[in-house]
Every structure is written in structure tokens, then in C-alpha cells.
Amino acid sequence: MGQNALPLFADGVSLNQKELLACQNLARALPERKSKARAALAGHRASSIKGRGMEFAEVRHYQAGDDVRTIDWRVTARTGKAHTKLFVEERERPVLLLLDLSHSLYFGSSLMLQSVQAAHLAATLGWAAVGHGDRLGALIASEAEHLELKPRSRQTGMLALISAIEQIHQQQLHQLNQPVKQPEHIFKACQRLRRIAKPGSLIWIISDGSHFGPQCLGPLSELKRHCDIGAFLITDPLRQGTLKLPPQFQFPVRDGDKELMLDRRSYDAWLAQQQTQQQGFITMMNQINARPRRIDAAQPLDQQIGALR
């Protein structure tokens, strides 16, 4: 398994709640991402948030459903068209995790499966959100199902996330030989995320990038207009071409729901395909200014703390 030691309570293949609870220690080292959620001053219901202020953000054309109390009468009189004021509301904001647990992440050549590293990362980001007073929610995507967790405050949201990750990870481990039920499951997850994410949310995308096709750019671009988005690419040395291999070799590899026998020639072709998929994901995330960062499944997360800041 290499020189690196597995994280506390982890075996690198299955998941348990103890190892995800232990991610709280690493989360304490992460800085708070300060942001302000943009919203209209008043809605149909009074805000339950007390003790926070409002400050002016911008003026835009009046839209159906806007509160008439926010109309900027000076701009309206000057332009002849109704305009409304937008304000910045300082409040706890929703943090949403899009966690990709597709079969392709159940791959590992060194320390742990990429899916396990993805789970550790999701738990760490979740604990950080809870520690900073944000509301935590998630959309966990696999070929078999999408599990949605609405943002909740304090540790309620975190415990729900841990339970859901453990459950879906275990299901996926037992279903690796089954045919894919939804070949466009990540595209559908992006569409669903666009519908459930409220303006001002912080969204973290965690994936190996294998299933983010060009059609995902549309819903993600719409999300970016109203939300902050960050992205993590979960990698593995064999998929990066950084694992030292002998000049001649032959070994079996499970790639998602496929079993392959790789030799030097077929490995080079397979590696090129893997890197093309990864680069496609990185390019898409850069297009929406999500600042993609790589997380290696061959190293414990606490050795990659710089990528989380």
C-alpha cells in the first residue's frame, strides 16, 4: 500500500462512520470562506435571521415577484422603466456538496480507493461548513440513485451526510458488476443541483471527472450566476501516469464496471483516455471559474491540506 499510512479508522476500501467523524480534526485547520449571499431585501415571509445587517448591492430591472417595497423610484423615474434594488444579506449560507460516487471512483492502485478519498474530502468540507456556522446539504450521485440532503444547521446536517455517504458507498461496492442504470446520471445531477441550490450558496463538486460530459456545462453555468462553486478532481497514480511500472507488465484492472487486462501498450492507450477525461473536467471547471484542485488517493488528506485552502 506504499509508504503513506491510512487515516484513522480507515481500511482504504470500505467506509465506516468513525473515519468520517475523524475528518472533523482536519476540518478545524481550514479557514472560513467568507461570502455574502445576494438576495432581495424583502420576500413573502420575514427572515428568521436576526442580528445581521443588509447593505445595498445593485439595481436591476423589476421582475415579476419582486417586492414593490424594493423599487428604486429615482432610477425608475429617470429611465422610464421599473427598477428594483438588490441588497447583500449577511447570514449563514447553504453549503452544498455534489459528491460523485460513480463506479469509476471505485479504483485504487496505492493507498485507498478514489471513492474513499472523495468521501473523506466531502466529510472534511462538511465539518468545516458546520464549524463555521453554515447550513450543510448534499447531492450524492451514483448510477443507481441520487440522494438529496437539504441544508440543515449545526451537526444535524453533518450526521445525515455521514450516514448517507456510508450507505451509498456500501451499495456501490456491492453493485460494481451490475450494468449502468443511468448513463447520464451526472448530467441529471447537475440539472437537479441547479434546481435545489438557492442563490448565494457555496457548492463543492467532488469527482474523478469521468462522467462530466459537455452537456453538464449548461446547468453548471447557470448555477455559477448565483452561487459560488469550487471543484476537486480525485486522482490516482495509475490514472495519472505517475506510478512507477516495469518496462513489461501485465495486470488486471477494474475500471468502473469493466474488467481490463493491461499490458504496456494497452495501458498507454487507457492512460491517454483517462487523462483526456480529467482534462475535460478541469477545462469545464475553469470555464465556470470553479478553480479545480487535484486530490490524490495515494496520500492521506492531511498531507494535501494546501489544496483545501
Residue ranges of domains in the chain: 17-33+93-308, 37-89
pLDDT score at 100: 98
The predicted pLDDT at position 154 comes to: 76
pLDDT of residue 302: 95
- pLDDT > 90: percent of the chain: 73
Average pLDDT, integer, range 202-209: 98
Provide the pLDDT for residue 33: 67
Average pLDDT over residues 222-242: 96
Look at residue 50 and tell me whether its pLDDT is greater than 50.
no
- pLDDT (tens digit, 9 = 90+) per residue, 100-127? 999 999 999 999 999 999 999 999 999 9
pLDDT tens figures, 74-96:
999 999 999 998 865 545 789 99
Whether the CB-CB separation of 39 and 199 falls below 8 Å is answered with yes
Confidence band of 258 (pLDDT split at 50, 70, 90): confident
How far from the centroid of its chain's Cα atoms is residue 194's Cα? Answer: 13
Pick the CATH number of 17-33+93-308 from 3.20.20.70, 3.40.50.620, 3.40.50.410, 3.40.50.2300: 3.40.50.410
Average pLDDT for the chain: 88
Structure-model confidence comparison of residues 113 and 32, the more confident one: 113
Among the listed ranges 82-86, 89-93, 194-198, 240-244, which one has the minimum average pLDDT value?
89-93
Tell me which residue of 38, 49, 57, 198 sits closest to 133, measured CA to CA.
49
**How does residue 1 score in pLDDT terms, banded at 50, 70 and 90?**
very low
Report if pTM > 0.95.
no
DSSP string, 80-102: SS-EEEEEEE-S--EEEEEEE--
Which of the two residues, 124 and 154, has the higher pLDDT score? 124
More confident residue, 253 or 11: 11
Q: What are the Cα distances from residue 103, in Å, to 124, 131, 151, 210, 262?
A: 22, 31, 26, 10, 19
Count CA within 13 A, CB hemisphere, residue 72: 22
